[in-house]
């Protein structure tokens, strides 16, 4: 099961993330992302869904042949054709993983798969066993687990484990669960499923109600030791759990999570975010936690004053710890005199109290008209006021 203090990061940017509308990547681009994921030190890269298309199969094969410092997983539905394609794609990896999934909720069984519960259990038994006959590491996912009957879910996981699954994943496929429910589900499964103590429990959340990160963290509290995440929270519909948010929450709140941590090299988070955004063409919202342009930007005068006195007043982690070069004290109409003075000093101007007051008044007039005040604007304010002191 591994070290109980380590949460494995299973990155699915190249599979669930790439299923995001418009996010399609070429094989060359996927390789660039995989290399960055290795620099991040993720534990498992889910490289694609090999049965989905020949292009996907070829890309997963390329990645499996190149990546040396992470396991490489290929997704498969619970049928022989998909499992053969996944094995063909990942078999050259240092640590290959076949990821088999089958839906377990009545909604999916009746309307999508047209299978009875008993028939589905038989598929799980035979297909997990088949995958395990090929590959030493097999993950089984019960799609739509959080809307599945709990007793039935326990039987499905028991069958998967008996058939050779080494990881069992509990997806919140439609982003429906609440943190307290999801934590309780993991605790229940731990108590009720025979053999679960010998495998890794994994969480996989979608963000339809904006709770993917909270739910994933709750799963860790409930005993999950693998989390399935994507860079920037990319993914189907409203996306998957954002890798950077889970990693930095564990690092920032040891009072809640104790010594539980990941292997992630957090200084590579920003580079990963920017690479994925550039290659997919999907921008990162400015107020996105950790990697958004404004995540370490402060404009309000009170905040800038606090930051200049002690950065812990308004920052719970350092920008450098996640790859930014520094905090950004943005000058705008909400900024105060301390913020202006600090920026002017950086530009080489040391004003006395009288000149600073005058410069501040000109600065505020300009900031009322312009969204962004550049260093050139500031230079102009100072130089022109020195030339025409009376005007200030
Ligand atoms: O959301 C989901 O249920 C999935 C499975 C294939 C794991 O992505
Ligand atoms: Zn998913």
pLDDT in tens, 353-369: 999 999 999 999 999 99
Region 10-19: mean pLDDT is 97
Q: How confident is the model at residue 371 (pLDDT cuts 50, 70, 90)?
A: confident
- Tell me, in angstroms, the distance from the centre of ligand 1 to residue 87's CA: 19
What's the fold here for domain 8-280?
TIM Barrel (3.20.20)
| Boundaries of every domain in the chain | 8-280, 299-384
| Residue 274, H or E segment | helix 269-280
φ and ψ of 270, to 5 deg: -65, -45
CA dist 38 to 42, 67, 149, 161, 264, Å? 6, 7, 38, 29, 10
- List, in order, residues 6 or more apart from 374 with CB less than 8 Å away: none
Query: What average pLDDT does range 319-344 have in this prediction?
Result: 95
pTM, two decimal places: 0.94
Residue 207 CB–ligand 1 contact under 6 Å: no
Confidence of residue 47 (pLDDT cuts 50, 70, 90): very high
For 352, the enclosing helix (H) or strand (E) is none
Q: How far is CA 82 from CA 34, 51, 127, 131, in A?
A: 22, 5, 10, 10
Q: Which ligand is nearest to the CA of 235?
A: 2
Average pLDDT over residues 260-266: 98
- Given this model, what pLDDT does residue 275 score? 98
pLDDT of residue 311: 93
| Ligand 1 pocket member 360 (CB < 6 A) | no
Contact 167, 139 (CB under 8 A): yes
Could you tell me if the CB of 204 is within 6 A of ligand 1? yes
Provide the phi-psi class of 175: left if phi over 0, else alpha when psi is between -120 and 50, else beta: left
108 close to ligand 1 (CB < 6 Angstrom): no
183 close to ligand 1 (CB < 6 Angstrom): no
Mutate to test the pocket of ligand 1, among 14, 15, 16 (most ligand atoms within 8 A of CB): 16
Q: Which residue has the CA at smallest separation from atom 1 of ligand 1?
A: 173
Best of 20, 148, 204, 230 to mutate for ligand 1, by most ligand atoms within 8 A of CB? 204
Q: Say which ligand is closest to the CA of 174.
A: 1
State the average pLDDT over residues 218-242: 98
């Amino acid at each position: 099961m591994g070290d109980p203090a380590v949460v494995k990061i299973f990155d699915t940017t190249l599979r669930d993330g790439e299923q995001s509308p418009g996010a399609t990547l070429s094989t060359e681009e996927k390789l660039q992302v995989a290399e960055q994921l290795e620099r991040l030190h993720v534990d498992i890269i889910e490289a694609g869904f090999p049965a989905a298309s020949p292009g996907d199969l070829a890309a997963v094969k390329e990645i499996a042949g190149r990546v040396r410092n992470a396991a490489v997983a290929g997704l498969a539905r619970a049928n022989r054709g998909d499992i053969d394609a996944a094995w063909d794609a990942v078999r050259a990896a240092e640590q290959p993983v076949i990821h088999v999934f089958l839906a377990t909720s009545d909604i999916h069984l009746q309307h999508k798969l047209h299978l009875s519960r008993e028939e589905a259990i038989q598929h799980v038994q035979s297909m997990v066993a088949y995958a395990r006959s090929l590959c030493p590491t097999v993950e089984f996912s019960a799609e739509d687990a959080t809307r599945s009957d709990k007793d039935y879910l326990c039987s499905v996981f028991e069958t998967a484990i008996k058939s050779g699954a080494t990881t069992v994943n509990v997806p919140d496929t439609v982003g429906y669960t609440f943190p307290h429910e999801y934590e309780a589900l993991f605790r229940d499964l731990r108590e009720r499923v025979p053999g679960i103590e010998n495998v890794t429990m994994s969480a996989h959340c979608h963000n339809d109600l904006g709770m993917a990160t909270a739910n994933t963290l709750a799963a860790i509290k409930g005993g999950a030791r693998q989390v399935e995440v994507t860079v920037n929270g990319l993914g189907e519909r409203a996306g998957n759990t954002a890798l950077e948010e889970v990693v930095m929450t564990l690092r920032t709140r040891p009072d809640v999570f104790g010594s539980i941590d990941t292997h992630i090299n957090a200084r590579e988070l920003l580079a990963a975010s920017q690479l994925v955004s550039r290659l997919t063409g999907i921008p990162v919202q400015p107020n996105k936690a950790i990697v958004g342009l404004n995540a370490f930007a402060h404009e309000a005068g009170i905040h800038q004053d606090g930051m200049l006195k002690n950065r812990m007043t308004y920052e719970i982690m350092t920008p450098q710890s996640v790859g930014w070069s520094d905090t950004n004290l943005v000058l705008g109409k909400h900024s105060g005199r301390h913020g202006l003075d600090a920026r002017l000093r950086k530009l080489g101007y040391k004003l006395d109290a009288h000149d600073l007051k005058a410069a501040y008044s000109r600065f505020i007039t300009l900031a009322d008209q312009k969204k962004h005040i550049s260093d050139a604007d500031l230079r102009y304010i100072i130089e022109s006021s020195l030339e025409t002191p009376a005007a200030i």
